[in-house]
Amino acid sequence: MTFDAASRYLPDEGTTGLRWRPATTEDLDGWAGLIARTAAVEHPVWYEKRADLVHILESTKNPPQTNTLLGIDATGVPRAYGRIAKNPDGDKATGMACVDPQWQQRGIGSAVLRWQEGQARRRFEADAAAGHPASPPRLRIQTEEQHGHQAKLLMGHGYGAVRWFNEMHRPLAGQLPDGPLPDGLELRTLEDSLFESVRLAHNDAFRDHWGSEPRDEESWRFTIEEPTGRHDLSAVVIDASTGSVAGYQLTSHDPQSASERGFKEGYTELLGVRRAYRGRGVAQALLADAMRRYAKAGMDIASLDVDSANPTGALQLYLGMGYSAVNRSMTWEKML
């Protein structure tokens, strides 16, 4: 399998000692194993599991034939991985990558990053040629503050940190906050019939959030079908007079992460309130409801991530409900 016109971006086999090609379904176990080996050494808060990689291979917007990269050693074991993703109308591409700890410090991370930049440029060119809005190509990559070697690599290639995010925890032992809703608003458990309405509400709620882009049916399906998603711990606030979604809270729980981190957490993947319903206690009601669902399900911690410069004042809301910051991550960006 080849990358066709993009093959000029492939890392050099002679220099890296690895054979490079796109990922396929036959690679799923080895690919997931590579990420897990790296995570066992670097201890990220979250990392991609096999089921996440299945979604990547199913993408039509970001076909894996041209948007994924595996570096295979002489014995057939994946030792490095990279990918990019871009919405056709989007103004950025995002990158993910890892290098097997035993193969680090050999220039392989730099080689993967150069491939990502080349592929990102190619995607911007192709989207513009297809009639999508033209914009200067840029690549964004997120790292955790604890991973200084990744920051060093990115800074060495001209990236700058443009945004910071806080991972926040709220212990569930003891008294939990109340979150009453005003008359006319009703809270319901997330169910299949609400998926599309929640997608539209999400796109409306996140119009003013930095870095957010509208989610189409494919990307929303991957969100809703996220392997660790817990619909029973997720909720939607409905305007009884119109039937429209005022806000929503989507939860995930990863049992494997619980065994690795030593506590069980209910993680709020997404929390959104449409503009017309802000200032009416919808977010507080959703979070208070989530805490009770988590506690009943045997969780120890309620957790979420928040943009430190969120324009809706979300950070202050979470602090007021008992959350505190425990980790920090940052988004790096380079104009290509």
Which residue in 65, 53, 141 sits closest to 97, CA to CA? 141
Residue 1 has pLDDT above 50, yes or no: no
Which 3 state secondary structure label does DSSP give 41? helix
Query: Which pLDDT score, from 0 to 100, does residue 5 have?
Result: 44
pLDDT band at 252 (very low <50, low <70, confident <90, very high): very high
Q: Stretch 204-233: mean pLDDT, rounded?
A: 92
pLDDT band at 2 (very low <50, low <70, confident <90, very high): very low
Residue 38 has pLDDT above 60, yes or no: yes
Q: Stretch 27-46: mean pLDDT, rounded?
A: 97
Q: Tell me: the pLDDT tens digits for 145-164? A: 999 999 999 999 999 999 99
Which residue in 57, 50, 48, 47 sits closest to 29, CA to CA? 50
Chain-centroid distance of CA 217 in Å reads: 17
Sign of the alpha-carbon dihedral angle for 319, 321, 324, 330 = negative
pTM: 0.90
Cα(194)–Cα(245) distance, rounded to whole angstroms?
9
Q: Tell me: the pLDDT tens digits for 263-308? A: 999 999 999 999 999 999 999 999 999 999 999 999 999 999 998 7
Q: Tell me: the pLDDT tens digits for 103-147? A: 999 999 999 999 999 999 999 999 999 999 889 999 999 999 999
Q: Please state, for a pLDDT cut of 90, what percent of the chain lies above it.
A: 90
Query: Which pLDDT score, from 0 to 100, does residue 208 have?
Result: 82
Which residue in 137, 70, 55 sits closest to 100, CA to CA? 70
* Residue 8: other Cβ atoms inside 10 A: 8
Helical segments of the chain, H only: 13-16, 28-42, 50-58, 64-67, 108-129, 148-156, 195-205, 217-224, 255-261, 282-296, 314-320
> 125-134, 198-207, 216-225, 252-261: which range is least confident on average?
252-261
Contact between residue 299 and residue 265 where contact means Cβ atoms under 8 Å apart: yes
Number of H helices, E strands in the chain: 11, 12
Enter the DSSP assignment of 216: -
Query: Which pLDDT score, from 0 to 100, does residue 310 have?
Result: 63
Enter the DSSP assignment of 280: S
Q: Stretch 298-319: mean pLDDT, rounded?
A: 86
Enter the DSSP assignment of 286: H
Query: Which pLDDT score, from 0 to 100, does residue 260 have?
Result: 86
For residue 108, what is the enclosing H or E element? helix 108-129
Q: Stretch 28-55: mean pLDDT, rounded?
A: 96
pLDDT band at 3 (very low <50, low <70, confident <90, very high): very low
Domains of the chain (ranges; CATH) run 4-158 (3.40.630.30), 170-326 (3.40.630.30)
Q: Report the C-alpha dihedral over residues 214, 86, 216, 131, rounded to 10 degrees.
A: 90
Q: Please indicate whether residue 111 or residue 208 has the higher confidence score (pLDDT).
A: 111
Query: Which pLDDT score, from 0 to 100, does residue 7 have?
Result: 55
Residue 217 has pLDDT above 50, yes or no: yes
Distance between the two ends of the chain, CA-based, in angstroms?
27
